[in-house]
Structure 1
């Protein structure tokens, strides 16, 4: 039975009923994260990449106020090309429903809707985290507390390096979110393969990730297993360029009095502009890698029966 308040595509529901692996994908990457027409190209390529692995893609977004798990191609095109799509976190879904809005779902909203639909694995680019001025502002992404309540597997390239990575890792520990690095104990910083901070555990295969998830479920632990999958070192931003541009971006944000929810878009736009678009190329490379790994994990979990 379909949970009330959302629509599950027939293909996704059939896969869930038959035990066919499914991978959830977010929509903010193509509603707000990438410029046109590249956003649509990346969204459709991700779906094709998942299908080629024998897994059903479930791209999640909101159309006319209704959360959809498994957007159609026409709906992906609609959300990719409209100027009216809003960015929707979990708290925004009721307002979007009442106002019949179109929107792209963040990690928090996508994870929640995926879980409601019975989807167990979700690939994204980078997680939200703790902001650099959090000791004064208490600015922390809703992604973290939401994921602490959902027994999913989420693949990301860590958190964006514009955030406070050590404080984010501390919060992940406090929230009992298990973090494993895919073939590494270097925690990635989205644009770079190694943020300079370490995590305790690495996993070597999708099968091992599935085994960790199964052990978590057997223990009744209700939080997400976070898989940190670093971008290929050949595709990352050069460390010197990354550090230099980020330093200038942070200084300019402070000088201009940029704060609160305006900080992240300011810094990301600065990174894109000052790297000549190279940060966008890294964004796409990150997403491709996470989608491929997520599909393999979904297949491994389905193979457990």
Structure 2
């Protein structure tokens, strides 16, 4: 495994010494946020994790290896040259490693990398899910499969608003992924703090989340857990407003035949343009908030 896994010394030492480590995805840096906001957000997330006493580990594919814990210069390169990085899901990691190409890991790719490195908690913005018009496209994100296969707890603000949230929740249930709301009774809608879809389970503290992780590990649970954390209320956007723009963006994507891996970045870019940066502001806010919560859960886990 060492042939394909390149762990930053600080990450390696933390894992060996049973210290908290948080895996952070790299796709949002390469493909999700514009430069320089992408780099600034990543650095702020890293700092938030460190202030909570945890070690941040941004994950990406570099020189034919899974790099777990990017250096500052590697982060800068990723942020500045994101278009040159392939978007890598879990099932594609082996393909891109064999080619030695650079890759930014999606949520599923990051979950897989975290699992291989022995990291139990991952933070992201929003997971992928079941796309709208799925009956026509059958477009379902690998993130949901990875959550069901690898024992990693993921902190996210629900699923991206461009998706069918109801079907995403149904699919998570079908795949046996426990979904728990952090101080919320409703599934977050990414830019919006709540959707109309209720959750059966909710948590009141990071310590409660940490205890749940421990219990599942002691039971030998083979899959992951999903903790959904709403975007901070002051940055939350109206779901009705966002959904109207998503509908417009989907129509435009259909006309231009944009699909597959290109669809999500296209839709998010359109949303940011149409909301004059309000979506970008919310996205940055929720990313930092999720990194902070993940670090607090990890700290509680090891206390």
TM-score, structure 2 as length reference:
0.95
State whether structure 2 residue 86 is matched by structure 1 residue 86: yes
Name the residue aligned to 2:42: 43
Task: Tell me, in whole angstroms, the C-alpha distance in 1 between the residues paired with 2:79 and 2:263.
Answer: 24
* CA distance in 1: counterparts of 2:28 and 2:246, whole angstroms: 21
Does the CA contact (< 8 Å) of 2:59 and 2:110 recur in 1?
Answer: yes
Deviation sequence 1:71-98 (CA, Å, 0-9, x none): 1111111211224211111222223222
Could you give the per-residue CA deviations for residues 154-200 of structure 1, whole angstroms, max 9, x where no partner exists? 10000011101111111100111000000111100101011111110
Q: Is the alpha carbon distance of 1:44 and 1:279 closer, same or farther for their aligned partners in structure 2, counting shifts above 3 Å? A: same
Question: For 2:31 and 2:243, how far apart are their aligned partners in 1?
Answer: 24
SS in 1 for 2:234: coil
Could you tell me whether the CA contact under 8 Å between 2:161 and 2:243 is conserved in 1?
no
In the aligned structure 2, how far is the partner of 1:124 from the partner of 1:164?
A: 19
Structure 1 residues 74 and 266: CA distance shift in structure 2, 3 A:
closer
Q: Which runs of 5+ in 2 are unaligned?
A: none
Structure 2 equivalent of residue 73 of structure 1: 72
The secondary structure found in structure 1 opposite 2:300 is helix
Map of 1:200 onto structure 2: 200
Q: Secondary structure at the match of 2:286?
A: helix
Write the distance in 2 (CA, Å) between the matches of 1:257 and 1:7.
38
Q: In the alignment, is residue 269 of structure 1 matched against residue 269 of structure 2?
A: yes
How far apart are the structure 1 equivalents of 2:288 and 2:260? Answer: 30
Q: How many residue pairs were aligned?
A: 302
1:258-284 CA distance string (max 9 Å, x none): 444443233222211111121111110
Bigger shift: 248-257 or 155-164? 248-257
Structure 2 match to 1:17? 16
Superposition pairs for residues 96-175 of structure 1, below 5 Å? 96-175=96-175
Partners of 1:102 and 1:14 in 2: CA distance: 25
Secondary structure of the residue aligned to 2:22 is strand
CA contact (8 A) 2:31 2:265 kept: no
Confirm or deny: 8 A CA contact 1:158 1:187 kept in the other structure.
yes
Distance 1:258 1:278 in 2: 24
* Segment drifting more, 79-88 vs 113-122: 79-88
Q: Output one character per residue of 1:99-136: Cα deviation in whole Å (capped at 9) or x when no partner.
A: 22112111111111111111111000000101112223
Structure 1 residue 244: deviation in Å?
2.7
For 2:211 and 2:231, the matched residues in 1 are separated by 23
Q: Cα distance 1:204–1:3, how it changes in 2: closer, same or farther (>3 A)?
A: farther
Cross-structure match for 2:181: 181
Alpha carbons 1:121, 1:154 under 8 Å: kept: yes
Cα deviation for residue 43 of structure 1 reads: 1.2
Unaligned runs of 5+ in 1: none
RMSD value, Cα: 1.5
User: Partners of 2:78 and 2:262 in 1: how far apart?
Assistant: 23
Give the secondary structure class of the aligned counterpart of 1:221: coil
State the alpha-carbon separation in 2 of the partners of residues 233 and 140 from structure 1: 29
**2:84 partner SS:** coil
Equivalent position SS for 2:154:
strand
**Contact map agreement 1:187 1:199 (CA 8 A) in 2:** yes
Mapped partners of 1:99, 1:253: distance in 2: 31
